[in-house]
Chain A
Amino acid sequence: MKIRPINHKKPSKIRELTYELKVEQVMCDDVITLSPDDTMNDVLRILRDNKIRGILVLDKDRLVGVVSIEDLISCLVDKGKLNEKIENRMTKDIVTVYSDESIVQVVNKFEDNGYGRFPVIDRDTKKLVGILTKGDIIDGLLEKLEIEYRQEEIHRYRASHIFEDVISDNSTLIMQYHIKGGDFKKAGEQTSKLRKNLLRLGIMPETIRRVAIASFEAEMNTVIYTPEGELIAKIQPDKITINTIDSGPGIPNIKQAMRQGYSTAPDWVRELGFGAGMGLPNIKNCSDEMKIKSKVGKGTDLQFIIYRRENET
Chain B
Amino acid sequence: MKLSRIIQILDAKILCNVQGRLDSDIPMICGSDLMSDVLAFIKSGALLLTGLTTIQVVYTAENAGVNVVCFVRGKKPSKETVDLANEKKITLLTTNMSMFESCGKLYNNGLIGGSDYEN
Contacts and interface: CB of A to CB of B under 8 A. Distances in A.
Contact of B36 (A9, A188, A282): A282
B60 interface: yes
B40 A285 contact: yes
Contacts of B58: 188
B62 A12 contact: no
A191 interface: yes
Contacts of B44: 205, 209
Nearest to B33: A273
Nearest to A273: B35
Contacts of B55: 184-185, 187-188
Nearest to B58: A188
A192 B39 contact: no
B9 interface: no
Contacts of B34: 273-274, 276, 278
B88 interface: yes
Given A217-B36, A278-B36, A278-B40, A15 B19 contact: yes
B110 interface: no
B65 A16 contact: no
A110 interface: no
A118 interface: no
A42 B55 CA distance: 58
Interface string A171-215: 000000000000011011101100100000000010001001101
A279 interface: yes
B19 to A, nearest CB: 4
A195 B63 contact: yes
A308 to B, nearest CB: 18
Contact of A212 (B40, B54, B57, B63): B63
Interface string B24-58: 00000000011111111000100000101011111
A185 B80 contact: yes
Nearest to B51: A273
Contacts of B88: 192
Contact of B37 (A185, A212, A220, A278): A278
B80 A273 contact: no
A13 B37 CA distance: 32
B97 interface: no
A19 B20 CA distance: 9
B54 A184 contact: yes
Nearest to B63: A212
A98 interface: no
Given A195-B63, A216-B60, A274 B35 contact: yes
Contacts of A276: 34, 36-37
Q: Which of B23, B36, B50, B59 counts the most chain A CB atoms within 10 A?
A: B36
Nearest to A211: B63
Contact of B59 (A19, A191, A205): A191
B64 interface: yes
A166 interface: no
Contact of B52 (A184, A185, A272): A272
Nearest to A206: B44
B19 A216 contact: no
Contacts of A278: 34, 36-37, 39-40
A190 to B, nearest CB: 10
18 contacts: A15-B20, A19-B20, A104-B19, A185-B80, A187-B59, A188-B58, A188-B59, A188-B63, A191-B59, A209-B44, A216-B39, A220-B56, A272-B56, A273-B34, A273-B52, A273-B54, A274-B36, A278-B37
Interface of B: 19-20, 23, 33-40, 44, 50, 52, 54-60, 62-65, 80, 88
Q: Which 7 residue pairs of A and B lie closest in terms of their CB atoms, listed nearest first?
A: A188-B59, A278-B36, A273-B35, A12-B20, A212-B63, A19-B19, A15-B20
